[in-house]
Structure 1
Amino acid sequence: MILAHVSDPHVGSDHDAALAAALASLPAALDSVVPRPELLLVTGDLTDHGTADEYRRLSALVAPLGVRCLVVAGNHDDPAVLRDELPRLLGGTPGAGSPAVWTETVDGVTLAGLDSSSGTLGPAQLDWLDEVLAAAAGPVLVALHHPPFPTGLDQLDTEWPLTDAAALRAVVARYPVVAGILCGHDHRHIATLLDGTVPMVTAPALSWRPRLDFRTGEPLTPSAEPPGLLIHVLDELGLRTHHVALDA
């Protein structure tokens, strides 16, 4: 399986011009990958205010990309409005615990999309994920907005964490079928391992990227780094992730 992955477009924010430039360069970046990915995952903060108009604008922006998109909800999204406006961007089988929870199987890989828009998954989603993983016949990629690990960027880790990250990690750790956890929220490409085994990867934002400042108490500030696209390759060797810079 070859899966393209971006995050945090924040449609309707002050960064819409940067977003438009990043999206304009995305088809060429996808074309540079052989075979070209047939699926693009966008891991949350799709809009800045969660309005119907912003979701319609998102639909118009992704339509020319020439690739099918699947999305998950972030803390700037409204899951109910997302489901009402863009059901085709949510996987084919609805899940439990939120209107924006879903699964879809592609090339023998199950994608499980979670909704962390409130900053918490909650028991209903975690129980549902447990059932999905228990029933999976092949590898599973879990997608959500908030990463279930500390990033070292203080404002992200203290003000906008996933409050039940430990519970999610406990569910995932029970099932070797989980090939990776794909996230956004941090606006940066960050990679680590759950218990030394399961890859956990965040995608860089299409809107803006924060500079690396690991000091306690320091707020996030924009950097001059270009946007990027992640390409995940999942096969018998496991999950490998490549970074492709976007011209924007």
Structure 2
Amino acid sequence: MILAHASDTHVGSDHDAALATALAALPAALGSVRPGPGLLLITGDLTDHGTPDEYRRLSALLEPLGVRCLVVAGNHDDPAVLRDELPQLLGATPGAGSPAAWTETVGGVTLAGLDSSSGTLGTEQLAWLDGLLAAASGPVLVTLHHPPFRTGLAQLDTEWPLTDAAALRAVVARHPVVAGVLCGHDHRHIATRLDGTVPMVSAPALSWRPRLDLRADVPLTPSPEPAALLVHVVDELGLRTHHLALGA
């Protein structure tokens, strides 16, 4: 399975012009990959305010891309409005614990879409994921907005963390079928491993990227870095991730 992965479109924000530029470059970038990705995953903060109009604008922006899209909800999203406006982007089978949770199997790989829009997954959603992973016979990609790990970006780690990240990590650690955890939220490409085993990868934002400043007292500030997306390959060897610049 070949999967494209982007994040944080923030439709309706001050960065809409930069987003439009990134999206205009996306079809050519996807077309340069052989074989081409059959799916584009966008890991949250789809809109800036979670309004119906912003979700409709997102749909209009995604339609010309020529690839099927699936999404998860971020802290700038409204899960109920997202479900009402764009149910086709939420996978084939609804999950539990949120109107924006879902699952779908594509190319032999099961994707589990979680809703971390409140900053917490909650016991019902985690129990649903636990059961899904226990029943899975092939590889699973767990997808959500918030990274379940410390990014090193101080403002992100302290002001907008996933409060039950440890509980999610415990669920994932119980199930060797998990090929990886895919997320966004930090607006940068960051990769690590759960206890040295399961890959956890965040995608760079299509709207704006923060400077790589790891000092504890420095807030996030925009950088001039170009937009990019990730291309994941999942097969018998596990998960491998490629970084693909947009407009290069």
Q: CA deviation at 1:66?
A: 0.2
Q: CA deviation at 1:217?
A: 1.9
Q: CA deviation at 1:78?
A: 0.1
SS in 2 for 1:145: coil
Counterpart of 1:35 in structure 2 is 35
Counterpart of 1:141 in structure 2 is 141
Alpha-carbon distance in structure 1 between the residues aligned to 2:114 and 2:217:
30
SS in 2 for 1:47: coil
Alpha-carbon distance in structure 1 between the residues aligned to 2:60 and 2:38:
18
Which aligned runs of 4 or more in structure 1 are off by greater than 4 angstroms?
A: none
Q: CA deviation at 1:2?
A: 0.1
Render the CA deviation track for 1:145-174: whole Å, top value 9, x for unaligned: 000000000000000000000000000000
Alpha-carbon distance in structure 1 between the residues aligned to 2:83 and 2:105:
19
Counterpart of 1:86 in structure 2 is 86
Q: CA deviation at 1:16?
A: 0.1
Q: CA deviation at 1:190?
A: 0.2
Render the CA deviation track for 1:55-83: whole Å, top value 9, x for unaligned: 00000000000000000000000000000
Q: CA deviation at 1:94?
A: 0.2
Alpha-carbon distance in structure 1 between the residues aligned to 2:237 and 2:224:
35
Alpha-carbon distance in structure 2 between the residues aligned to 1:155 and 1:60:
32
Q: Superposition pairs for residues 1-248 of structure 1, below 5 Å? A: 1-247=1-247
Q: CA deviation at 1:115?
A: 0.1
Alpha-carbon distance in structure 2 between the residues aligned to 1:230 and 1:216:
28
Q: CA deviation at 1:136?
A: 0.2
SS in 1 for 2:229: strand
Alpha-carbon distance in structure 1 between the residues aligned to 2:218 and 2:118:
24
Q: CA deviation at 1:229?
A: 1.0
Percent identity of paired positions between Structure 1 and Structure 2:
84
Q: CA deviation at 1:247?
A: 1.6
Render the CA deviation track for 1:2-26: whole Å, top value 9, x for unaligned: 0000000000000000000000000
Q: CA deviation at 1:39?
A: 0.3
Alpha-carbon distance in structure 1 between the residues aligned to 2:177 and 2:200:
14
SS in 2 for 1:232: strand
- Let me know the Cα RMSD of the aligned residues: 0.6
Alpha-carbon distance in structure 2 between the residues aligned to 1:215 and 1:229:
26
Q: CA deviation at 1:207?
A: 0.3
Render the CA deviation track for 1:25-46: whole Å, top value 9, x for unaligned: 0000000000111100000000
Alpha-carbon distance in structure 1 between the residues aligned to 2:229 and 2:74:
18
| Unmatched tracts of structure 1, length 5 or more | none
SS in 2 for 1:182: strand
Partner amino acid for 2:88?
R
Partner amino acid for 1:170?
A
Q: Give the structure-2-normalised TM-score.
A: 0.99
